[in-house]
Structure 1
Amino acid sequence: MFPMNMIFFLILTLTTVSAQDADFTYNGFGAAKLRLDGIAEITPNGLLRLTDTRLLAKGHAFYPSPLRFRNSTTGKALSFSTSFIFAIVPKYPDLFGHGLAFVLAHSVDLSYALPSQYLGLFNANNSDSSNQIVAIEFDTNMNPEFGDIDNNHVGIDVSSPRSINSSHAAYFTNDNGAGFKNLSLVSGKPIQAWIEYSHMDGLLNVTLAPIDIPKPVVPCLSSNVNLSSLISDDMYVGFSSSVGNFITCHYILGWSFKLNGRVPALDFSRLPSLPHTPSKSSLESWKIGLLIILSILLLLIIIIGIIFLVKRESKFREVFEDWELEYGPQRFCYKDLFLATMGFKDQQLLGAGGFGRVYKGVLPKTDIQVAVKQVSHESRQGISEFIAEIVSIGRLRHRNLAQLLGYCRRKGELLLVYEFMTNGSLDKFLFNQPKLMLSWGRRFHIIKGVASALYYLHEGWEKVVVHRDIKASNILLDDQMNGRVGDFGLARLYDHGTDPQTTHVVGTLGYLAPELSKTGKATTSTDVFAFGGFLLEVACGRRPIEIRASEEDVVLVDKVLKYWKAGTILEAGDPNLGNEYIVEEMEMVLKLGLLCSHPNSNSRPPMRLVMRILERDAPLPEISEDGWNAEISAMAEGGFDNIGMSDGSLLNMFACSASTTESALLTGR
């Protein structure tokens, strides 16, 4: 019988021999049992994919068990040879990273390692691990901090991303003595690599070649490396790869390995295919074709541009149109408005309507807050609306008008720049349970301001300006809560003493005078009608038309008439005010709202008279229906003495026209 120590020696000897003769070949990895981690995976067709379309990631693939790399008797590293075929496929031809490496590692725990330039093997100081690593890197990025020679090289790394020796990626050819030929690692095509180590002379050789070229006789990189002092007895063998901020796929198509012998050749016919990508030649052809097309287009644009400029220069000395020279206020640079509104982002949006979108902005050079209206491209009025607003507001000056600071025209874009109104529009303080309830004193102050502005538009300027869209949402409030009339997109102008032209019936439901549907003429009297609706909505705290209200309360003016008829007109006031209002002022505003909303245009007071009534320089007229037109005309001329007043007679006049008013209010767009 053998002694026990002899049996143990024989077992150890057999194990060592088995390890020293270890070899394997994978012609594709469909049935391979590899250790995978990170984002490495084996695809259904047998490709070993170390990285995919994810960014800042790493992938590892190792032979499942460690191999004995040192002679247990002499302690010297064993010879080995390996061959594999890899492909690096970037999404974009000029943006890629960071390569792959063939690795000998004492441990497959690489959790401490970083992606990007660290290839999934190392980290910034490499102090987190005592792992022994020898790697042959195929690096596609130049990292000066590691002393890289270029962005297409082969290097030998020993427990550090700084190579102890490196060489440009190339292969040797004997064709007519041509010597080395450049080989792009990121070509997207399969490349074969051979790595061989001889324990006799400590020489480590790395050879590269395209897949259709036999193994060159001269290696790409040859270096003396004493592996005996750099590795442990048992080492894992495999691959590592990483990516940074650019999508790059790293593939291994096949792999063979042998200790103490020549590695067997791979069977190309059994290798899996790479995913289809456009060939470099087709990409180059596409680039050349695109360059030619762009060159032709550029030449045509230059020719057309020259012709256009020559013609334009001969017709206009400046780039401004005639109306801009005559009426235009300051013209802003589009870039300044783009920067002021943060690129017209939604977070700067103040509101939107049929005429366009309004953005809050801060002018970059002056830090002035502005409101920038971006006129809708789909507007059927388009440039005509834009010019109307420029012409009408551009030269108007009144403390109760929203001031137009300037404008901008860029290609088809139309932009108007206003002074910024800190408190927005009046309607948000009246409806939908506002956070801040306006007091009666503030409301009355706003009413008088709007009336003053309308009087200026109708009589105080060199032309008659008909606003055509007076309503609470178009009354803006500054930081002192003063009312400012804004949005002149529908305004029309005509000379004093002339007859206004017929135009499209435009405006807002509930503010349109009944005669508009017959004549199509916007006049100062139609503005007064809208002002009447405005007076009632401010006093009552509800819109002129409430579709969701009960049938008898849909039209606000009819509801106020009903209270008038009952002798309780004050009950029409905004219930949110409670009793916090001046009775005489509330009654005056409600009656004046009815007066301005009269269905007969000749019976509405002009804004001159409205101003005198609000300032209490003139009483509210209360006369019989028969004498209404004559006496209202006399009062407009200044005759207000000793006019009789009777609630009943005024009520009779309105009662007979209530149904007419309702139908008129429901007309419009």
Structure 2
Amino acid sequence: MSCLIMLVLLLFLLVVASSEINQGQFSFNGYLNVEGVAGVDSSGLFKLTNTISRKSGQIFYKNPIQFKNSTNATVSFFSTTFIFAIVPEYTRLGGHGLAFVISPNDEISGLPAQYLGLFNATNMGFDSNHVVAIELDTVQDFEFHDIDSNHVGIDINSPQSVKSAPAGYFTDEGEFINLNLNSGDPMQVWVEYDGVEKQLEVTLYPTKLTKPKTPLLSLKKDLSPYLYESMFVGFSSSTGLLASSHYILAWSFKMNGKADELDLSRLPKIPRDDDNNTRGIKQLQRILALTLSLTGLTLVLVLVCGAVLISRKKRLVEILEDWEVQYGPHRFAYKDIFKATKGFKEKEVLGRGGFGRVYKGVLPSSNVQIAVKRISHDSRQGMREFMAEIATIGRLRHRNLVRLLGYCRRKQELLLVYDYMPNGSLDKFLYHQLNNSLTWTQRLKIIKDVASALFYLHQQWVQVIIHRDIKPANVLIDSDMNARLGDFGLAKLCDHGNDPQTSHAAGTIGYMAPELARTGKANTSTDIYAFGLFMLEVACGRRPIEAPAPPDETFLSDWIMDCWDKGDILAAIDGRLEKRFVVQEAELVLKLGLLCSHPMAVARPTMSSVVSYLDGVASLPEDLNSCIKAREFPVVSNDELITERANTIPSLTITESFISHGR
């Protein structure tokens, strides 16, 4: 029956649209092309996406619209208005929003999540896209410089908006009123372009109000270079690990005039999760009415059963505390994590450490592979470090950072859920696969990847993030051999221009800067020191400290310095490479590694400089030789030096990486 109603509805809309195609206008739903997970129900309500993770859905008007006058090839005036609603799967936590789209075709093969089904990692920013979109974004993606997790943006050929503003509207008195896109309430949007003034305006407001006089966004830009003569118009939306249902309730479009007003009295009803609760209550009321004449025992049993029915849904929804809401990552239900890891079976263990274990899992709802860090009750990495990781990596978006998908709390048990990295950690490649060593090209790529991640953390994010535990065990390798920095359990945040406040030294012996022993204060320079040793370790295939090694080779940086003094710095390169490396690149890595791990903090470069050196944009300082060799160490025996360095670290906190045992 529902299929018949849908067919009749679409046939009716086809008839309506046929009289309007040549006029470049249509009202309500028109004649549409549906792609992906998008669909229409019997009430005429279009759903772009549902609560399935990592999916996209698109709805386009079937016929192309003529946007340009063929005589002067300029975009004419156009206007569109639509009513939408976003209903997140979990209250206040949804993703990733929707967009009104002007596109060269009505089938776009973009990626879901932050790309909104419109772009992918290889084509964003290209002039050949010819895509103009108005995004209603509900997830903050720092890679695209999003201003927050609740904004409206104008996108041209890229998911990075050319202009954006927090979601809301201006009253006639000029007061700005915030709106929550994830509220589930219907909201109306007007998009209007004046081809003469070259002005694009976007207005957002609740449907219960009249259209505000002042638009939310106003962009002075000629759209003619970005649009073809004929273009398709429609909507695109996507979900990531977090999901929302994105609805289009009504839509009107017109070229060379103002779009028709929408009839608010005919809007379809938005499905809500609490409808189930209402039905449950009504069902309970009927049951109680029928059982009033039964015995007291029966009445008690019915009341108990009714209470169970009403509270069942509430029991399945875990309450979010205030601190959890503000951190943003998705909170998983414990039963989902339990099922994903097959009950935390021993054969699913990826690694073990002082914190507990890491398990491989597969999310039952989406078949996405995950890694679950299960923190034990008596772990050295307790609530403080757990919170640090949620607060930090949960809000970061960078291709060279391990992505935190979400977390779970059950009583005193703490779990973190990450993207699964099939190739495990870097130390496995350096020390546990002697017959399958990394090539030089792979090693240099890994070094550059980690440098890019640190540059983002130190200088590109909204705050400064100090990792404090950079080492191969905390670098994961994905399926494409890209390196991703992970384990933010010791991370510290501070505002740009301020020094972080740390109470004690933390990290891993061998990678800790000398000044940490004196001050206990970590900063970006101490991260760079660890990164310098990381570079040397990757190039040489040896740990920073090798106690069983000959006395003059115990400390990696000292040994490389000796090789340099002897005129053969490349002798320190990993012998497994059998000299299959680019000489200039190898010398650059070794010398830059020594500069970054200089005992004097003031001598170390910033991460922006490091990236410039590695990319060949800048050359190493001319006085590099004298600068690097200005190192003062006590003249003592090797055994005494090891003891002195180990004993000069007060109140040391050492954490074992959650991936250090072959994730």
TM-score, structure 1 length as denominator?
A: 0.48
Find the structure with the greater CA-based Rg.
1
TM-score, structure 2 length as denominator?
A: 0.48
